[in-house]
Amino acid sequence: MSNIAYFPVRGPAEDNRPGKRERTKVANRQAILDAARAVFGELGYEAATVRDIIRRTGLASGTFYNYYKSKEEVFDALADDGARRFRPLLRTEFEKAVDFESFLRGAVRAYFDFLAAEHESWRINRPAGEVFPHARATPEIQAVFDEVHAAFAKVLEHDHAPAVDLDYFAAACIAVAREVGDKMLERRPVDVDGAADFAVRMILGGLPALPRP
Amino acid sequence: MSNIAYFPVRGPAEDNRPGKRERTKVANRQAILDAARAVFGELGYEAATVRDIIRRTGLASGTFYNYYKSKEEVFDALADDGARRFRPLLRTEFEKAVDFESFLRGAVRAYFDFLAAEHESWRINRPAGEVFPHARATPEIQAVFDEVHAAFAKVLEHDHAPAVDLDYFAAACIAVAREVGDKMLERRPVDVDGAADFAVRMILGGLPALPRP
DNA sequence: AGGCCCAGATGACGCCCCGTCACGATTTCA
DNA sequence: TGAAATCGTGACGGGGCGTCATCTGGGCCT
């Protein structure tokens, strides 16, 4: 053996790759998240257990609790993840928008596209009838709601639109988008355009403005 | 003591009161339901256990399972109970209605009144943030949805209104009513009139028709 | 009234899942 | 290289779940 010891040389391009500890940590966290998505998809939320999730990763049961406190927390992390990925799309629509109508149309369209895409990674083999607790108000989801609320306020003000009860209005819009979005996913083929058109007209003009099929 | 023994005489008005067996059965079922309502109110749905419920009744744990299969089933029974009590109110509104607008107004108003009344018996001491699985599609709740759907179809046809995508439309209306109703309950004082007015205008005319506060 | 029968109340039991913790392996740092 | 820190591990106690053998008392007959 050379008596010149080997030391990893860090060149000018500093190797800022985290150490092994850190790498396995993020890998484990991600593995648990992936396993959880799969298990929730196959067994449904209620039936899934922490051990079902951790078993799929090959890790020990105790390890799960180094990353998440409970099944609920993992689920919330998945939900947060979705919300976190959606937020930039929403922001883009806000920046593109020139008035309330264009913002609404863009945002609904973005949401429905997002829904359709996510749909694939979830509905693998879900027991019929079970409903995921979509409504969980995780921090990131709440942030999305707040952002919608704020965007509505700004855009409506810019339009010199008459003041409305924003709390009710934003809630109603989100409700319409959610429900029509859900129904959209149940139809074959999935018609994002049609559903988005419906939701936008519903919000902008109510019953008289709806498309006639 | 008189030597003329006392025998309860069953007159022509036959005593068809059920026997003691049957009476304790309905009493137990009701006791479990009441206890469940209280426990769900105090601990929230997730934290509540079958034993919390049965303990409050003084019955043995096994007895619970003579009446309901699980915590879920008891919760669904409570939800069904609410839906079953609401259905006649909805039907009354349908019979009173002369056109779509009057039906919608009556139905929304009835629902919000119902919500405000039920509110009392539930929000006793609920842990903040937890959301009940309102969305559970129990048979009775599904029946209410179907009835709204059917009523919409009949009333709109009677109005000679242009055909719309009833599935989307009914879902959107229910979503608006639910969400605005929820928000209504969070405000002090609870303003049923204002909330109903908002929801009805939202559905009938969308954003431009909303009241300006 | 007395006796038989069975619906249904009872609670102990075994099962499974939960969350913890003491231990050991591996990485990091001096 | 050795000490210290970090984190994976799986056994364990705790507790809720749903069942079942047993017991109790109401219904019904003679």
pLDDT tens figures, A12-46: 333 455 788 999 999 999 999 999 999 998 998 98
How many Cα atoms occupy the beta-carbon half-sphere of B79 within 13 Å?
20
Domains and CATH numbers, chain A: 18-68 (1.10.10.60), 71-209 (1.10.357.10)
How many angstroms separate the Cα of B162 from the Cα of each of A207, B56, B150, B209? 10, 55, 16, 20
pLDDT at A16: 52
pLDDT at A17: 59
Q: How many CB pairs under 8 A join A and B?
A: 120
Cis peptide before A213 (omega within 30 of 0): no
Rounded CA separation A125/B58 (Å): 41
pLDDT at B61: 98
Four-residue CA torsion sign, A131, A137, A139, A141: positive
User: How far: B65 CA to D26 C1' (Å)?
Assistant: 21
Q: Which residue has the higher pLDDT, A10 or A167?
A: A167
Are A176 and B175 within 8 A, CB to CB? yes
Q: What is the average pLDDT across A184-195? A: 96
Nearest to B205 among A165, A205, A213 (CB): A205
Nearest to B168 among A100, A174, A180 (CB): A180
Return mean pLDDT, chain A.
88
Query: At residue A4, does pLDDT exceed 80?
Result: no
pLDDT at B4: 35
Q: Residue A135 — very low, low, confident or very high, per pLDDT cuts 50/70/90?
A: low
Query: At residue A124, does pLDDT exceed 60?
Result: no
User: How far: A27 CA to D5 C1' (Å)?
Assistant: 20
B70 touches strand D (CB under 7 A): yes
pLDDT at A20: 84
Cα-based angle B146, B150, B151 (whole degrees, multiple of 5):
115
Taking alpha carbons only, the member of B138, B88, B137, B132 closest to residue B114 is B88
Query: Which segments of chain B have a pLDDT < 70?
Result: 1-17, 121-135
Identify residues of B whose CB sits under 8 angstroms from chain A CBs.
Answer: 46, 72, 100, 129, 131, 133-137, 161-165, 167-169, 171-172, 174-176, 178-180, 182-183, 195, 198-199, 201-213
Nearest to B183 among A137, A168, A180 (CB): A168
Q: State which residue has its Cα closest to the C1' atom of C18.
A: A50
pTM for this entry: 0.87
pLDDT tens figures, A62-119: 999 999 999 999 999 999 999 999 999 999 999 999 999 999 999 999 999 999 998 8
pLDDT at A137: 81
Rounded CA separation B40/B131 (Å): 11
